[in-house]
Amino acid sequence: MAGRRHVFISHHHADDEHVSKLTNSLARKGYEIRNSSIRAKPANKERLEKGLVSDNAIKRLLRIKMAWASTVIVLIGKETHARPWVNWEIKKAHELGKRIVGVFTRGGTEADVPPAFEDYGSALVSWNPDKIIEAVEGKDNDFQEPDGSPREPVHIPSTSRC
């Protein structure tokens, strides 16, 4: 198993705590995640909420951050499906040829899967560090329900990797 992986973690900002939980959980398995995703600091959150940052500036920054990653992990929690930026990030990851791995957060449901993930996802796994690592490494292309039981993908997942 590779010890380090460059990823971009797409997530609803209400799920920021899950980003840290994910990286810490994988670190306990000896797997280092170098995450290039954006987690807004309080001052930047205020600028975003006030609309002081243009969508084009955000897209440019996201493209730069995502280009560096080999894999995009999509944290799927409550309301993820309704987040336009998560859907945009998934579509952009697909355009860039990235492997796209969905991970259900604790409490995430099948109804929370973003529409773009249904179109472009490579694997969808429960909150299980071993399954997440296998999916990121491309060793597992399974699609699972939040409880880890098997689920049929909506589309035929891509097996390409950068």
Q: Per the structure block, which two tokens stand in for 153?
A: 């993908």
133 in helix, strand or coil? helix
pLDDT for the residue 40? 64
Task: Give the type of residue at 23.
Answer: T
CB 36 within 8 A of CB 6: yes
What predicted TM-score, i.e. pTM, was given to this entire model? 0.86
pLDDT for the residue 1? 45
> DSSP characters for 63-79?
HHHHHT-SEEEEEE-TT
pLDDT for the residue 48? 73
pLDDT for the residue 23? 92
Specify the DSSP element, H or E, that contains 4.
strand 4-10
87-121 pLDDT, tens digit each = 999 999 999 999 999 999 988 899 999 999 999 99
pLDDT for the residue 115? 93
CA separation (Å) from 144 to 3, 24, 103, 133, 147?
A: 25, 22, 9, 15, 8
Q: Which residue positions in the chain have pLDDT lower than 50?
A: 1, 160-162
According to CATH, what is the number of the domain 4-37+62-162? 3.40.50.9200
